[in-house]
């Protein structure tokens, strides 16, 4: 079955809007991370968040490991937030990240 | 600040040619990963090294791909011979513990 599932697949926002991205992960996946792939293709670490809540500026993330989901919150979105947001977790052996298919975010001014 | 570096950033080659991609992990990181990203498959692991030893290359086509770490500051991924279906972005990542940090990628086009 699907190990890491993200929703929604696409999101279009006006600048200034808030959004929530969701990641569901299976029992075989742990140690969630969130990445932003910008329009130039660079994969940037946002959060390493196996559990709990972290905040960094306008972004915050919460992982509820017992319920196998993680949420990424973007507040007061800006055009520079556009790109693809991936969540990923370790496989059972801890030898690879299993990536979701991503949420493509487009923020327009 | 510390970053994973990859060279070349772009490579266009003809089918049958050898391609070598290089990665310099972040100093002090003991794990190195090679991933490939395509539109169809998304991001998938090709190879994994811990303390320079290859631990998992099950995602890599063995007949044409090879990955090595000649020393702690260099990881290489070779394709020989290259095929059009190898066209993709190849990412190197390094880490210490579970968190991984990605390089800028090598965009490979095989004609």
Backbone φ and ψ of A81, nearest 5°: -80, -10
> Which CATH number do you get for residue B13?
2.60.40.10
Tell me the pLDDT band of A35, cut-offs 50, 70 and 90. Answer: very high
A45 vs B contacts (CB less than 8 Å)? 99-102
pLDDT tens track for A15-28: 999 999 999 999 98
Of A39-43, A58-62, A64-68, B17-21, where does mean pLDDT reach its minimum?
A39-43
Alpha carbons B22 and B69: distance in angstroms, whole number: 10
Residue B26 lies in a domain: yes
pLDDT at B2 over 90: no
Q: Taking residues B59-88, what's their average pLDDT?
A: 94
- The confidence score (pLDDT) of residue B61 equals 85
* Mean pLDDT for all residues in chain B: 93
**Beta strands at B53-56 and B106-110: parallel, antiparallel or unpaired:** unpaired
Q: State which residue of chain B sits closest to A87, comparing Cα positions.
A: B43
B48 vs A contacts (CB less than 8 Å)? 95-96
- The confidence score (pLDDT) of residue B58 equals 79
pLDDT tens track for B69-79: 999 999 999 99
pLDDT tens track for B9-31: 999 999 999 999 999 999 999 99
Contact A2, A26 (CB under 8 A): yes
Query: What's the CATH fold of domain A4-108?
Result: Immunoglobulin-like (2.60.40)
pLDDT at B1 over 70: no
Cβ-defined contact of B48 to A99 (cutoff 8 Å)? no
């Amino acid at each position: 079955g699907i190990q890491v599932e993200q929703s929604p697949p696409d999101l279009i926002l006006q600048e200034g809007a808030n959004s929530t991205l969701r990641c569901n992960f299976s029992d075989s996946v742990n140690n969630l991370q969130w990445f932003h792939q910008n329009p130039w293709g660079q994969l940037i670490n946002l959060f390493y968040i196996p559990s709990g809540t972290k905040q960094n500026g306008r972004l915050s993330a919460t992982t509820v490991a017992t319920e196998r989901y993680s949420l990424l919150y973007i507040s007061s979105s800006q055009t520079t937030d556009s790109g693809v947001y991936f969540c990923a977790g370790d496989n059972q052996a801890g030898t690879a990240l299993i990536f979701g298919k991503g949420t493509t975010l487009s923020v327009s001014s | 600040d510390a970053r994973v570096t990859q060279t070349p950033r772009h490579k266009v080659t003809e089918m049958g040619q050898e391609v070598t991609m290089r990665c310099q992990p972040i100093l002090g990181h003991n794990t190195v990963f090679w991933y490939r990203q395509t539109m169809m498959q998304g991001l998938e692991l090709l190879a994994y090294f811990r303390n320079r030893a290859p631990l998992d290359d099950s995602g890599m086509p063995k007949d044409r791909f090879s990955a090595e770490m000649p020393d702690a500051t260099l990881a290489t991924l070779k394709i020989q011979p290259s095929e059009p279906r190898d066209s993709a972005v190849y990412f190197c990542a390094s880490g210490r513990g579970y968190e991984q940090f990605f390089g800028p990628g090598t965009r490979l086009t095989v004609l």
